């Protein structure tokens, strides 16, 4: 993932931090914070996406909001590798 995509991903994650369900779910909050910290450190973004996938799946069903939809669409526009990771973790969970 190039620097521009990581910057866009960070902005999408920051937008999610402003949502109500982010404030109400401690576990989701922790995963988002870890993803942002990891991306800011320059760690592999794939690890963060794998950790986020089950939460995205759950909240897209129970609390669909534009911020989650935007993040999911961004990830789906990525490579088939990301699409496979997201679908596989969603299917397993």
Residues in the chain: 93
Q: Which domain range does residue 85 map to? A: 3-92
pLDDT of 47 reads 79
Q: What share of the chain is helix, strand, coil (3-state, %, to 5)?
A: 85, 0, 15
Residue 38 parent element (H or E):
helix 26-41
Whether the per-residue pLDDT at 10 is higher than 90: the answer is yes
- State the pLDDT at residue 2: 81
Would you say 51 and 31 are in contact if contact means Cβ atoms under 8 Å apart? yes
Predicted local distance difference test score (pLDDT) of residue 75: 80
More confident residue, 52 or 86: 52
Whether this prediction's pTM lies above 0.85 is answered by: no
Please state, in angstroms and rounded to a whole number, the distance separating the CA atoms of residues 82 and 52.
Answer: 12
* Strand boundaries in the chain, DSSP class E: none
Domain total in the chain: 1
């Amino acid at each position: 993932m190039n620097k521009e995509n990581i910057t866009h991903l960070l902005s999408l994650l920051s937008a999610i931090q402003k949502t109500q369900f982010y404030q109400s779910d401690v576990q989701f909050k922790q995963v988002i914070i870890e993803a942002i910290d990891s991306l800011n450190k320059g760690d592999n973004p794939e690890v963060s996406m794998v950790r986020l996938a089950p939460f995205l799946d759950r909240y897209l069903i129970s609390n669909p909001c534009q911020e989650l939809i935007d993040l999911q669409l961004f990830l789906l526009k990525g490579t088939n590798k990301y699409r496979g990771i997201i679908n596989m973790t969603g299917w397993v969970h």
